[in-house]
Structure 1
Amino acid sequence: MDKENYNKTHESLVKQVPYPFLTEQLIRQSFLTTYSRNEKIVSQAGQLTYLFIILEGKARIIQQEPNGKSLILQFLEVGDFIGELTVVHAENTPKDVIAIGPVRCLAIPLSIVENLLQDADFSLFLAQYIGKKLLMRMEHFSHAQTFELKYRLAALLLEVSVNDQYTENNTQIADYLGISYRHLTYTFKYLRENGYIKKNHAGYLINPPKLRQLIQQGYQL
């Protein structure tokens, strides 16, 4: 992790997430943190010291099970918080959050966040954000029951690919989608043979326009 103080060169970066509570004074009390691919932003074994907001890049939330298995719980993108459930004491320790590609975050010290929580507008904003993420999780499980896998996988590829490159662990992805590994590989084969993706040394190179067309077909059924 690289950490630096906020300065004017970061202004356009922070403006990508125009949240009302992000005053210039608050931003100047925060830090810009940068992570490389597969680097942990937050560790389940560590202690949370900042509330993060993703400014660039994507990340995955991982639950480490007692049997040693790693489960993907959710994917994060620009504008998402990291550590909000710990901040509101909904969980005692954070989950592992790992950068999918290069990631930059605004790191707000928890001492500042504690003061922010005294503001009713900020507390409402955070509650609404957590509520929306819960609804997204419910939608994820709903789609698992109603959408054919090829449409769900197409949407996931668009969500988690970085620069049109998919590099996820397919065992974890099969668990995340609630399917067998065999079913997943069969569907990857279908997407590959029909020109939606192309196999390469890192994983798959995706064709976003074609994948979006496929998803639209799924909604029209």
Structure 2
Amino acid sequence: MHILTAEARTHYLEKYPIDDFFSFDINPYLEVRQFDKGEWIFQEGSFPDTVYYMIEGKAKLYMTHKNGKVSLIEYLEAPLFMGEIELLNEARYTKGIQTVTKTICYSITQSCKEKLLADALFLRRLCVFLGEKATKMTSKYTQNQAYPLENRLAAFIQLSADQGVYKEKHTEICEYLGVSYRHLLYVLAQFCEERILEKRKTGYQIIDKNRLAQLAQEVL
């Protein structure tokens, strides 16, 4: 992770304005940070002192269970807040968030926590975000029951691919999508036969973006 230059900061703030999220001047409390692919934004169990607003990139949200098993809970895609629950909750125990691609975030220090928690404009924005987040999570679970794996996997590949390449761990994705390992491999092989994907050493290259999008559109 590194803080971007003043010039880059100006570029991103012009491209992704955030001033209207707040009723006070947020600039003294804000930095623009870049996380490289595979970096941890939050380590699980840490006590973050920062609220992030992702403006570009993708990340994974993980949770470790009491038995030691680690589960992928959700894929995160810009734009969205991270660390907002820790801001609202005094316990501030966070789940792990790891980037999937290069990711650009606005970093807001909790030194302005009292201002944030007293700001009706920001809290209204946060409430809308949390409502949309809850709806998305509910939709994901209902989709697992309502749609075939072909459609759900196509949507997932679109979401998780980096520069046209899909290379997630099969075991992790089986659990996330609620399917067997064998079923997942069968559908991936089917996509390859239909020339939607091509298996390579680096992962699965997306060959037919239009066909993948058609399959994904069923669940979007």
TM-score under structure 2 normalisation?
0.90
How far apart, in 2, do the equivalents of 1:144 and 1:90 lie?
Answer: 34
**Contact 1:16–1:55 at 8 Å: present in 2 too?**
no
Structure 1 residues 110, 95: closer, same or farther in 2, change over 3 A? same
How far apart, in 2, do the equivalents of 1:88 and 1:72 lie?
Answer: 23
* Bigger Cα displacement from structure 2, 24-33 vs 113-122: 24-33
User: What's the counterpart of residue 186 of structure 1?
Assistant: 186
After the TM superposition, which residues 123-142 of structure 1 pair with which residues of structure 2 at under 5 Å, given as runs? 123-142=123-142
Secondary structure (helix, strand or coil) at the match of 1:204 reads strand
Q: Which runs of 5+ in 1 are unaligned?
A: none
How many residues end up aligned between the 2 structures?
217
Query: Which residue type is aligned with residue 172 of structure 1?
Result: E
How far apart, in 2, do the equivalents of 1:94 and 1:160 lie?
Answer: 22
Cα drift, residue 87 of structure 1: 1.3
Cα drift, residue 209 of structure 1: 1.8
**Contact 2:192–2:198 at 8 Å: present in 1 too?**
yes
Structure 1 residues 208, 12: closer, same or farther in 2, change over 3 A? farther
Q: Deviations over 1:19-78 (max 9, x none)?
A: 422689413431122212211000113211110011221101011223332211111112
Query: Which residue type is aligned with residue 200 of structure 2?
Result: N
Structure 1 residues 92, 166: closer, same or farther in 2, change over 3 A? same
Structure 1 residues 91, 159: closer, same or farther in 2, change over 3 A? farther
How far apart, in 2, do the equivalents of 1:147 and 1:203 lie?
Answer: 25
**Contact 1:14–1:55 at 8 Å: present in 2 too?**
no
User: What's the counterpart of residue 120 of structure 2?
Assistant: 120
How far apart, in 2, do the equivalents of 1:23 and 1:9 lie?
Answer: 24
User: What's the counterpart of residue 13 of structure 2?
Assistant: 14
User: What's the counterpart of residue 212 of structure 1?
Assistant: 213
Runs of 4+ in 1 over 4 A off after TM superposition: none
Q: Deviations over 1:61-103 (max 9, x none)?
A: 0112233322111111121111111112186411100000211
Q: Which runs of 5+ in 2 are unaligned?
A: none
Query: Which residue type is aligned with residue 96 of structure 1?
Result: G
Secondary structure (helix, strand or coil) at the match of 2:136 reads helix
How far apart, in 2, do the equivalents of 1:205 and 1:40 lie?
Answer: 25
User: What's the counterpart of residue 171 of structure 1?
Assistant: 171
Query: RMSD of the alignment, in Å?
Result: 2.1
Query: Which residue type is aligned with residue 186 of structure 1?
Result: Y
How far apart, in 2, do the equivalents of 1:201 and 1:82 lie?
Answer: 33
**Contact 1:60–1:98 at 8 Å: present in 2 too?**
yes
Cα drift, residue 214 of structure 1: 2.2
